Chains A and B, each alone.
Chain A
Amino acid sequence: MSDAGSLAVVAVLAVPVAGAALLAVLPDDRTTAWLNVLASLVTFAAALVLLVARPAPGAFLIVDDLNVVFIVLSTFIAFTTSVFSRSYIGHELETGRLTPAYLRFYHAMYQVLMFGMNLALLSNNLGLMWVAVELATLTTVLMVGIYRTEAALEAAWKYFLLGSVGIALALFGTILVYLAARTVVGEGLDAMAWSVLVQKAAGCDPALLNLAFLFLLLGYGTKVGLVPLHAWLPDAHAEGPTPISAVLSGLLLNVALFAILRFKSIMSANPEALAPGPLMVSLGLVSVVFAAFMLYRRQDIKRLFAYSSIEHMGIITFAFGMGGPLANFAGLLHMTLHSLTKSAIFFCVGHIAQVKGTQQMQEIRGLTVSHPILGWGLVLGVVAIAGLPPLGIFMTEFLIVTSTFARSPVLAIILGLGILVALGALLLRLNELAFGEPKGRSNPSRASFIPVGAHFALVLIAGIWLPPALVAWFQYVATLLSS
């Protein structure tokens, strides 16, 4: 059993690397898109094996109950995004926005990004995880700037500066954690291993841990897009290729949040250290309220959904900050459903921007009339992301608000208001985008609707009937997180 597990871990990391190397040298643009899909599919299959067969934790890599959730979700969305990317990129090549040379670069970078994220999730070492997150950041910076327009370069530069400052703060925090652990665990690799740190955290110096957590929360929080540190996020989403927007919102934000969760569990294991919950709750709440109001003033369709991502990352951070089995369960489920829904929305938005030739919302009207499938896909997506029943996000938002009500009603009211304000903004925009007289340019779309359909089907099923096995699994992880 464990042999299959070790093999799967190697595959999850090695397949993207091999894929990146191949895609960087192969010249033909038709086969490379398929190769990208194939590599992502194999990685996803290997991740599924990890569900049943787990290798023993090593000094550098670990598979445990928490990260296996993230890995399966990540590799699944990476796979569906690669399917979407194939049809999206085909159109970009025809219109000449991307040249074949840049396409080669794009595909190789896509696989390097997958490697970085998988490594960050699998690593059992603080330093290794930091390196992996930095690798993922750098590749996304390059991809955001790939169109080389002035706006794209501006966005990439902003993302690079803020992202690397965040990552620098996180490294300082990591060094402080090592210093705190060194006195208890001793020098060497063990003092940086999650599996050891969580057990020994009670003996670590609480003052050092507090300071470390502040740096880590600010550093990785920049990558999550929490509000005072979010400035890069809307630009990066709006100016890069849409598959990258989907991957950023659906996966990379989660990876950064995962890092914060790991450090939170170290903090919680030390009774004398600062409670990490209130910090996360306040950052999350500020993000929700700020993003909800900012949604009303957006002109660009990709920026609109980028702000919606800030709002949802706020909700998830809030839920994990509140802690307790119920809030953790809801946070975990909300994260999964948000990733699925938001990436599906970006799939639709990518095709919409291509058929309309613009991202400005004023010039997009009556989509359900001119492009029924795309239009109704967008309607379904916005209804889901706004948190209306019967889709899954309604249930998780309901769980988060009600479980908070029992413990601190004021926070629950603020959170509920934030969610309602965001709902108003999204429905307002949706009404203009999807209904009424069609306006502006409209090319026929040759989109592939399989990824969109697959994601929405999962979100709908989650809203109506959650498989008991999944509930039991997530509940188990939630109790682990809150212990």
Chain B
Amino acid sequence: MDRLALDVAHLCAGGLVLVSFMLLYQDRMTGLINTFALHALVVSFSVAWQAYIQLAPHLYITAAIALGVKAVVIPLALHRMVVRLGIHRTIEPVVGVGLTMLAGIGLVALAVMVMLPVTAQAGTLAREDLAFALSVILLGLLMMISRRNAVSQVIGFMSIENGLILAATGAKGMPLVVEISVAFSILVALIVIGVFLFRIRERFETVDVHLLHEHRGEQP
């Protein structure tokens, strides 16, 4: 049981890092959102597995929220948003895929080198989970700085949140924070989608109108 439990936990955490890499090179909005849904799916399975092996039933709630909100509701909302903004077909140039991937590999190496030596006392489960979680966080940061589009930045931020959830559930017996932080990640996501994207849409519209006026002025 123990060996298998650890292996599955590591498989999930490693899978999350892999999906983070996939997020890095998506250049279409639809693909990016679908990959994020996969990211959330992996994290929710990982949390559920932690709940099972730590005998901590409250973590199932966290897993359910991650599954319901981050893997279903938010991707659906983002899809609608992207269509409404009219950017669902545009290709977002990802600056130097090769270079970004290399930087990502460097960050994962850094995370492993930093976390493994200092967590010697923390137990095998927490050790590797934390190293993977830090990798996911750093990859999310890389994504946020390498993208210009607001939607991609929000997705980058939400992938950081997923990494934090992975870290928090890996730390065995951590009290109350999981619930609260999940509640907050939902709040963040809602505020981001509800307020900012709507306001940014207005901004696009005004900019368009402005361009239209200029264009009209130029034509005889």
Contacts and interface: CB of A to CB of B under 8 A. Distances in A.
Given A165-B141, A189-B176, A153 B117 contact: no
A192 interface: yes
A175 B162 CA distance: 14
A324 interface: no
B94 interface: no
A161 B157 contact: yes
Contact of B160 (A135, A168, A189, A208): A168
Given A138-B188, A179-B126, A187-B172, A168 B177 contact: no
Interface stretch (A142-150, A275-283, A312-320): A142-150
A178 B174 contact: yes
Contacts of A178: 171, 174, 177
Contact of A165 (B157, B181, B200): B157
Given A179-B171, A182-B171, A205-B121, A142 B200 contact: no
Interface in B101-157: 114-115, 117-122, 126, 130, 133-134, 137, 141, 144, 150, 153, 157
B119 to A, nearest CB: 7
A175 B171 contact: yes
B137 A172 contact: yes
Contact of A192 (B153, B160, B167, B177): B177
Interface residues of A, number: 41
A171 interface: yes
A191 B177 CA distance: 12
Contacts of A175: 130, 164, 167-168, 171, 174, 177
Contacts of B137: 168-169, 172
Interface string B67-83: 00000000000000000
Contact of B173 (A148, A164, A182): A182
Contact of A142 (B115, B117, B173, B191): B191
A183 interface: yes
Nearest to A208: B118
Contacts of A179: 119, 122, 126, 130, 171
A129 to B, nearest CB: 11
User: Mostly helix, strand, loop or mixed at chain A's interface?
Assistant: helix
Contacts of B58: none
Contacts of A127: 174-177, 180-181
A211 B114 contact: yes
A397 interface: no
Nearest to B160: A168
Contact of B118 (A150, A183, A191, A211): A211
A188 interface: yes
Nearest to A183: B121
Contacts of A176: 130
Interface string B187-200: 11001100110011
A344 to B, nearest CB: 32
Contacts of A142: 191, 195
Contacts of A141: 191
Nearest to A168: B160
Given A153-B203, A157-B196, A208-B118, A188 B150 contact: no
B132 to A, nearest CB: 13
A131 interface: yes
Contacts of A148: 199, 202
A471 interface: no
A131 to B, nearest CB: 5
A105 B218 CA distance: 42
Nearest to A162: B144
A399 B117 CA distance: 42
Given A165-B144, A189-B175, A211-B114, A172 B122 contact: no
Nearest to A164: B157
B164 A172 contact: yes
Contacts of A138: 187-188, 191
A169 B174 CA distance: 17
B112 to A, nearest CB: 13
A74 interface: no
A232 interface: no
B177 A188 contact: no
Interface in A310-364: none
Given A153-B203, A164-B157, A165-B141, A208 B164 contact: no
18 contacts: A127-B180, A131-B181, A160-B192, A165-B157, A171-B181, A172-B133, A175-B174, A175-B177, A178-B171, A178-B174, A179-B122, A179-B130, A189-B176, A191-B175, A192-B175, A205-B122, A207-B118, A208-B122
Interface of B: 114-115, 117-122, 126, 130, 133-134, 137, 141, 144, 150, 153, 157, 160-161, 164, 167-168, 171-177, 180-181, 184, 187-188, 191-192, 195-196, 199-200, 202-203, 206
Interface of A: 125, 127-128, 130-131, 134-135, 138, 141-142, 145, 148, 150, 153, 156-157, 160-161, 164-165, 168-169, 171-172, 174-176, 178-179, 182-183, 187-189, 191-192, 205, 207-208, 210-211
Given A148-B199, A168-B137, A174-B177, 4 more contacts: A127-B180, A134-B184, A192-B177, A207-B120
